[in-house]
Structure 1
Amino acid sequence: MEPLKDLVIFFFTSPTIVMGAVFLLILYFVSVGSTSGDLRKEPPGPRPLPLLGNLLQLDLSRTYRTLCEFSKTYGSVFTVYFGPQKVVVLAGHKAVKEALVSYAEEFGDREVLPIFKDTNKGHGILFSNGDSWKEMRRFALSTLRDFGMGRRVAEEKILEECGHLIHVFENQKGKPFDTARPLNCATSNVISSIVYGSRFEYNDPRFKNLVSRANESIRVAGSAQIQIYNMFPWLVRWIKNRQLMIKNAAISIRDVKDIIQQLKETLEPQTCRGLVDCFLIRQQKDEESGVKDTHFHEENLAFTVSNLFAAGTDTTAATLRWSLLLMAKYPHFQDQVQEELVRVIGSREVSVEDRKNLPFTDAVIHETQRLASIVPTAIPHKTSQDVTFQGYFIKKNTVVFPLLTSVLHDESEWESPHTFNPSHFLDKEGQFIKRDAFLPFSAGRRVCLGEGLAKMELFLFFTSLLQHFRFTPPPGVSEDELDLTPAVGFTISPLPHELCAVSHE
């Protein structure tokens, strides 16, 4: 919490910031005064301080933990102030699912945090609203389906990448190594092959930089500095991590535009190589038809590609890193997975069709997603209209945090919510069962559009790797010493670590 203390001290010692703080304090009391006559019941929550809100009560590196603790006191729908910004938090399976599914329209808008306004400028899919978002999401979904999301063509692309990844792991010759970079490259290549129509070599300089910048920005987006900036964007624009994220975004968009230009120069309208080609063809048709105010323009294409690349890389790779770490930490579960793979698959290549005959393996993958809770608070939502929800009145344009980790770790839904237990997804006969409280991809209008592709990747990468390797801690490190503490970030990865991939051959 030292960085937070330093920032607070700076607030109250800098003349410029003190003047800004006084101004915000006046606004705070004006806003309080203007709503004091509203008798409608709003969600409860901890009492906020003027200007700072509940800032001093929050662990800004892992905000989701503080919010989970608050839910024990204030219930499943409560209010927290991030500085002067009012946020309604939804906690637990019942509240989150009801809001996102039964009240999908009311809770379906995106709250674009200041840092993402800076880096995305309202373009793309993840951090946009209105007609542009609807058009880009619809286009991306239909195009991803056309290029095989959930079909054989995508399966072939993933299995091809499995071969490259296995080769990288084999080259480690059983010695300890960090799995992060090869897994990030592998998952990046799957989305690249669908978006661009081709994959990259792992040592391609531009590809390596695109992957590392995306990972760095996602990590930094969860830092205390960026949280402070999102609360007080007018006062702390100088924060180092903000400058880093803006720089990373600008360089990556430039690289993406270069790749798009190369594809444009070799475009053949009769043959779509990937999503970019489909977009460019649609763009040409709009231009030829004289369509005005089209959303199919260069900026939307570049940011849509960038959004898909970052989202398609980070979350899937982080889940795979967790899965291999958990196998090394709990070797008896790894034994069961590998016994099932040998019995059902043998030495042949795995396929998506095998999933239904691998219930324990499927349960291990699902349990990894549940326990890891990669996106603990989801990307913030915003109410599109006034809504009364579970007896509480929530105004239009209120920021909403669906606390996904509280669903995946809901003590009323899971038998042992805080431990790794594949039995959560198995019945008494050992067959796989679905669980209503399994929401790692969120739900409703803003559900992850790459859910089908991510599920296929997790299954094929995990089973292919476990077919070829046994994962163990480095020499001299016991299973008990493998650390499951999550790293800090906008998404939740394991801390940096090394494993040994020992070939079965």
Structure 2
Amino acid sequence: MWSVWILVINLHFIKINAQFNNQIWQYRSPDKYQIMEKPTFYPNHQQSHPRIPMPVYEFNPNLYSMSFPISIPPSPSLQAFTVPTPSLQNLLFQSTWMTNNPPQYTNQKEYIGYVTEIKKNDVMNRISTKPENDYDISIHIRNNLPDFLSGTSDDVQKKFYKIVLNPDESFQQKQSKLDQLVSTLDEKNQELYDRYRRMKELEEREKRDRVHAIVASMSNKAQTVFAKIDLAYPHRSIIKWKKKFGPVFTIWLPGPIIVLADYKLLRETLVSQGNIFAGRPMSFVYGIFSNHCPDGDGIILSQNEKWSHQKRFALRVFRDFGMGNNMMEQKIRHYTDILIQQLRKQIGASGLETTITDLHLPITFCVGNIIHDLVLGKNYEYGDQEFLRFKKLIDSILKDFVSIPMLVVDRYPVVRFLLPTYYRFCKNGFALQRFFLKHIEEHEKAIITSTSKDDEPNDFIDAYLKNMINKITLALNSGDLWTGGMETTVTTLRWVIIYLIHNPDVQKLMHDEIDKNLGTRMVCWADRTCMHYTLAVICEVQRIINVLPWHILHATTCNTTLSGYKIQKGTVIMPQIGAINFDENLYPNAEIFQPTRFLNSEGTLLNFEYFMPFGIGKRSCLGEALARTELFIILTTLLQNFEFSAAYGKPPTLKRYPGMVSVPQDYVCQIRARNEVV
């Protein structure tokens, strides 16, 4: 009976989708069929997402895949699995589906029946719609409480009965209270403690086995409905779809997201209608660390008046701490000098004129200490374990944030109970939050015990505490500044070194410019006016690496229109700057590293209005001034002191890891000392 109803619902939704998108099924051959597209669309159709140009479905059982770059809404039986990925090998759970021969289907009806059975047999009957039935330990002991509580004191028995039989509390509340009660038991109730612990361990094992079976089954069956998108280079897929569907279209990740892949569109939305398109998605994952506040929290993930207030205050604090003047520049030069000394020490320790090393940690400590000094008023010695743990948390969070499991959780929060990625993401995120809260409390104690209440704040946290900002908000703001201010700058500098190793002629021209204009004196921010080639190299690296490949999603704060389409409040928007960076009309031979594209015939730096490595509009990077200064001073100082070449004659790969940030794959390089800067 279930199978019949699900089949009817599936066919009904497919019919609706085909009608509303003015598309029809066309039988092409015994092993292939396709939804053929017509040029008319229905922008005013009232649904939860705008009717933007849609794609084609293409099914070929011989390939065992279905591709839909941008989608009509998948039917409910498929929707949970329409997540873009080239394969499922990046999931924690893997099954034997890769070695199995896929079934062959010759028509739509047979295929839909197959998918319906998948949902019925492998999902609906195995995942309870009420997760508490799977995880509520009180359910498993409720019918056997007398035996379970045998040998325990009357007081403990009363407490157990009161918790387990309370109809007004959720299973999470019961579970928490039971855990707390058992943890406080004395030696007289040791037997109950042991029974409870064994039951929890058994439940955990059963849960893991069940999750492995379910997710493996989902992986085995859902491969046919996964879209094809390059997770490390999403702009490549976006550009391909832009050529076919125009500069604005919808993708499903797995919820609907409108992609803007044109500079003029970005100007129209993020600048001309800046307030309207300055919102953030108030989805499940975006609200995990802010306790799902109505307008979010922190700087990056808040919106409306809350975001405006946080941004204004942060800019004022930055200005007070010398952002854009000599005070901040001196801080950058100080930590850059420590970086140079560390690298020279490594060369000296090798006993040779060169050394082979990984620059990741030295650069991370340099940039990280600049941010730490600004936010926390402290710094770390090279190799400090607390700093390394902190960096590890950041890396994991940024990687998981745009991972396939978290995209699914964001759309279907109930499945979070099945995905270890969700637990890791939460564990690391809250650990990071506790790290900042600990430092906030230390600052607060220092302020309370200070003899002078009128002392100027020493760092970002001091300034916030003196203005009585909520501690959780302050912790989120600190994390936002640290994440946004460190990881993108470190990643850009690492990529610059890679491209200089691949292009020694470019490195030679940079050395010549530095020797001519600076010699051996210390570089300063004012020197940029005569360092056009160095700036052009930085610009070209920023363009080609597209350090935030997925950008940070926006959302509309009210109903509006976009290119003639009606857009509802809360619609999620993805500004695809990567598609602009690789637009052949703007950057000929865009895939080629070519710094001279940013120079005119006289060798002077060109400022393209469509070049926006720090974003555009009201949500552009808050720390742009700091990042520009860091990139110029650190890179110029590195090139002034060292020459970089391939280690063992093998240059680093240009491949990157998928994630929120375009992180290069780990590499080592050979460095040779040049001039001694004075």
- TM bracket (short chain): 0.7 to 0.9
Note the C-alpha offset of 1:235: 2.2
Q: CA deviation at 1:27?
A: 12
Distance 1:60 1:226, change over 3 A: farther
Deviation at 1:392, TM superposition (A): 2.2
1:157 and 1:112, CA in 2 relative to 1: closer, same or farther beyond 3 A? farther
Give the residue type in structure 1 aligned to 2:269: A
The CA distance in 1 between the partners of 2:546 and 2:630, in whole Å, is 17
Once the two structures are superposed, the pairs formed by residues 365-380 of structure 1 within 5 Å of their partners are 365-380=538-553
Q: Quote the residue 2:252 is aligned against.
A: 81
Pairing 1:276–2:461 present: yes
1:98 maps to a residue whose letter is E
Contact conserved, 2:43 with 2:566, CA < 8 A, in 1?
Answer: no
Aligned with residue 65 of structure 1, among 226, 236, 240: 236
Ranked by relative contact order (alpha carbons within 8 Å, sequence separation 6 or more), the top structure is 1
1:123, 1:270 → 2: CA distance?
28
Question: Sequence identity, in percent?
Answer: 27
CA distance in structure 1 between the partners assigned to 2:302 and 2:12 by the alignment: 27
CA distance in 1 between partners of 2:259 and 2:10 (Å): 24
Counterparts of 2:285 and 2:333, CA distance in 1: 36
Aligned residue type for 1:253: Q
Q: Distance in 2 between matches of 1:113 and 1:161?
A: 39
Deviations 1:357-397 (A, max 9, x none): 10000110111111110012310001112222222222221
Of 205, 214, 226, which aligns to 2:394?
214
Distance 1:104 1:331, change over 3 A: same
1:72-221 correspondence to structure 2 within 5 Å: 72-83=243-254, 85-121=255-291, 122-173=296-347, 174-221=354-401
- The one of 644, 647, 664 equivalent to 1:494 is 664
Q: TM-score, normalised by structure 1?
A: 0.87
From 502, 507, 510, the counterpart of 1:337: 510
Within the alignment, does 1:425 sit opposite 2:605 as a pair? no
1:5 aligned partner: none
Secondary structure of 2:252's partner? strand
Deviation at 1:45, TM superposition (A): 2.0
| C-alpha deviation, 1:137, in angstroms | 1.3
Distance 1:32 1:416 in 2: 39
For residues 116 and 81 of structure 1, the distance between their equivalents in structure 2, rounded to whole angstroms, comes to 17
In the superposition, relative to structure 1, how do residues 437 and 134 fare at CA in structure 2: closer, same or farther (>3 Å)? Answer: same
1: CA distance between counterparts of 2:309 and 2:588? 41
Q: Is the 8 A contact 1:90 1:400 kept in 2?
A: yes
- Structure number, greater radius of gyration: 2
With normalisation by structure 2, the TM-score equals 0.66
Q: Distance in 2 between matches of 1:476 and 1:39?
A: 60
Which consecutive unaligned segments of at least 5 residues does structure 2 have?
A: 22-41, 56-70, 84-225, 348-353
Are residues 25 and 65 of structure 1, via their aligned partners in 2, closer, same or farther at CA, if it must alter by over 3 Å?
farther
Letter in structure 2 aligned against 1:105: N
Equivalenced residue count is 471
Residue ranges of structure 1 left out of the alignment (5+ in a row): 1-14, 284-295
Paired AA for residue 50 in structure 1:
S
* 1:232 maps to amino acid: Y
Distance 2:230 2:404 in 1: 5
Whether the 8 Å CA contact 1:178–1:497 is kept in 2: the answer is: yes
The RMSD of aligned alpha carbons is 2.7
Deviation sequence 1:441-468 (CA, Å, 0-9, x none): 1111111101111111100110011111
Q: Higher mean Cα deviation, 60-69 or 419-428?
A: 60-69
Kindly indicate whether residue 54 of structure 2 is the aligned counterpart of residue 45 of structure 1. Answer: yes
How far did 1:180 drift?
Answer: 1.7
Does the 8 A contact of 1:60 with 1:224 survive in 2? no
Shift of 1:116: 3.0
Paired residues of 2:250 and 2:259 also in contact (CA < 8 A): yes
Moved over 4 A (4+): 24-33, 35-38
Distance 1:141 1:238, change over 3 A: farther
One-letter amino acid of the counterpart of residue 272, structure 1: P
CA distance in 2, matches of 1:236, 1:261: 32
Is the counterpart of residue 254 in structure 1 residue 434 in structure 2? yes
The answer to whether residue 407 in structure 2 is matched with residue 407 in structure 1 is: no
Report deviation, 1:229. Answer: 2.5
Range that drifts further, 56-65 or 69-78: 56-65
State the Cα distance separating 1:28 from its structure 2 match. Answer: 7.4
CA shift, 1:418, in A, is 1.3
* Offset at residue 258 of structure 1 (A): 1.3
Alpha-carbon distance in 2 for matches of 1:57, 1:385 = 30
Cross-structure match for 2:624:
451
